[in-house]
Amino acid sequence: MRTIRYQQIADDLRGRIQHAASGEVLPSEAELSDEFEVSRVTVRRALELLRDEGLVESRQGFGWTVVAAPVLQELGALRTIEDQLRQRGVAPERRILEFAFVDAPDRVAEVLGSDQVLRVKRLNLADGAPFAVVTVWCPAELSDRLSRHDVEQHPFHELLGRELRGASQTIGAAAASGADARLLRIPPGAPVLRCERITRDTSGRPVLMSEHVFAAHRTEFVVDLPQASPSITPSGLRLVE
């Protein structure tokens, strides 16, 4: 029987998807059109066929991606995302990209009250697929004995030797910079979730500040909202103008 061209393209892409990471961004329709020497209409029909099979999906700002379950992060307690992933049967991994004592940027110096900080930048992966770029700043006087191996194997809050009161986290939408896009394997300018977290010890002193950049198509945050009578504002959340 004669095979229609878009079906041939779908067969080819289906084979590639079997070896692709969950959430991986596929080449654009224009790139696939050039590769297979067909129109974008033909390419789109092939991709729509794979979408009907539940293999790919189309997302604004990303194009076509391999279907993947989102990385869920519960925000009700100060827990690491690695622990949460392990509980769901997902293998977490940290890759340290930078470990350096540096002059604190203005915002970091203001929050931590320290001019010299340890800056650690890492890439977080789930089952081998990148989902977050994380930068952590810690006052130099609290981190001068830490090594690259320490922060690769353990969360910061376990290494400081201080009891923690908790953390505040601010989440907003942003567009991926070129550097973050390359690390997360997403198009530059694609939607990301940017989170700023400030961790305090029991005296109320900020001891850690971190920025987390999540690929939006792979990330969901889960928050329990207990009833807070008589106020309509849920406990643990704060409305920001």
Q: Which of 100-109, 152-161, 165-174, 228-237 has the highest mean pLDDT?
A: 100-109
Provide the 8-state DSSP code for 76. S
Residue 241 pLDDT more than 50? no
Q: Where are the alpha helices (DSSP H) in 132-236?
A: 140-143, 148-153, 156-159, 178-184
Q: How far is CA 166 from the centre of its chain?
A: 21
The percentage of residues in the chain with a pLDDT greater than 90, rounded to a whole number, is: 61
Give the pLDDT of residue 3.
60
Q: Read off the tokens for 130.
A: 């990148």
Q: pLDDT tens across 72-121, in order? A: 887 777 677 888 888 888 888 999 999 999 999 999 999 999 999 999 99
In the chain, where the domains are located: 5-66, 71-222
The span from the CA of 33 to the CA of 84, in Å, is 40
pTM score, two decimals? 0.82
Q: Who wins on pLDDT, 223 or 231?
A: 223
The pLDDT confidence band at residue 210, using thresholds 50, 70 and 90, is very high
The span from the CA of 202 to the CA of 191, in Å, is 36
Lowest mean pLDDT among 66-70, 135-139, 178-182, 215-219: 66-70
- Homologous superfamily (CATH) for 71-222: Chorismate lyase-like (3.40.1410.10)
Residue 9 pLDDT more than 90? yes
Query: For residues 122 and 97, is the Cβ–Cβ distance under 8 A?
Result: yes
**Which CATH architecture does the domain made up of 5-66 adopt?**
Orthogonal Bundle (1.10)
The span from the CA of 138 to the CA of 167, in Å, is 14
